[in-house]
Structure 1
Amino acid sequence: MKVQLLVSKWCPTCPQAEKIWTEAAQRVPMEFEILDVAERKGREVASRLRIRTVPAVVIDDVLKMVGAQPLADVLKVLGV
C-alpha cells in the first residue's frame, strides 16, 4: 500500500496530520511519504487528482481523506 500525505507549510492542521500519519506508518506496513504541494512532486499529485485542500491523503493513487482525522479513524481507513 502506498500512502501519500499532501501538506503545505502554511496549513495550520498539517503538522497534526503529519504526526498522526507518521504514527500510523509505524504501526501498519506501508510505503509512506509526505509531499509538500509547494514542491514539484506534491504539485503533480495534487494537480493529477484535482486536490484543492490540504492535508489530503492519497492511498494507491486515490484521494481517500482530507483534513486531520484521529488516529483511530486513520487506522480504520488502513484496514486495522
Structure 2
Amino acid sequence: MQVTLLTSKWCPTCPEAEKVWSEVARQRPIEYQVLDVADKAGRTLVSNLRIKSVPALVVDGKLKAVGVHSLGEALKMVDSAA
C-alpha cells in the first residue's frame, strides 16, 4: 500500500498529520512518503487529483481523506484498505 501525505510549509495542521502518519508507517507495513505541494511531484499530484486543501492523504493513487486524523482513525483506514 502506497500512502502519500500532501503538505505545505504554510499549513498549521500539517506537522500534526505528519506525526500521525509517521507513526502509522512505523506500526504498519506501508510505503509512506510526504510531498510538499510546492514541489514538482506534489504539484503534479495536486493537479491530477484536483486536491484543494492540505493535509491530504492519497492511498494507492486516490484521494482518501483530508485533514488531521487521530492515530486510531489512521490505523483503521490502513487496516480497512489492506
Task: Check whether TM > 0.5.
Answer: yes
Question: What aligned pairs does 1:1-80 form with structure 2 within 5 A after superposition?
Answer: 1-79=1-79
Shift of 1:72: 0.3
List 4+ stretches of structure 1 deviating above 3 A.
none
Q: Distance in 2 between matches of 1:30 and 1:73?
A: 16
Please state how far the C-alpha of 1:76 moved relative to its aligned partner.
0.5
The count of residues paired between Structure 1 and Structure 2 equals: 80
1:36-79 Cα distance to aligned partner (Å, 9 max, x none)? 00000000001000001000000000101100010000000001
Across the aligned residues of Structure 1 and Structure 2, the Cα RMSD in angstroms comes to 0.8
User: What SS class does the counterpart of residue 78 from structure 1 fall into?
Assistant: helix
Query: TM-score under structure 2 normalisation?
Result: 0.95
Runs of 5+ consecutive residues of structure 1 not aligned to the other structure:
none
Name the SS of the counterpart of 2:5 in structure 1: strand
What percentage of aligned pairs have identical amino acids?
52
Instruction: Provide the secondary structure at the position in 2 that maps to 1:9.
Output: coil
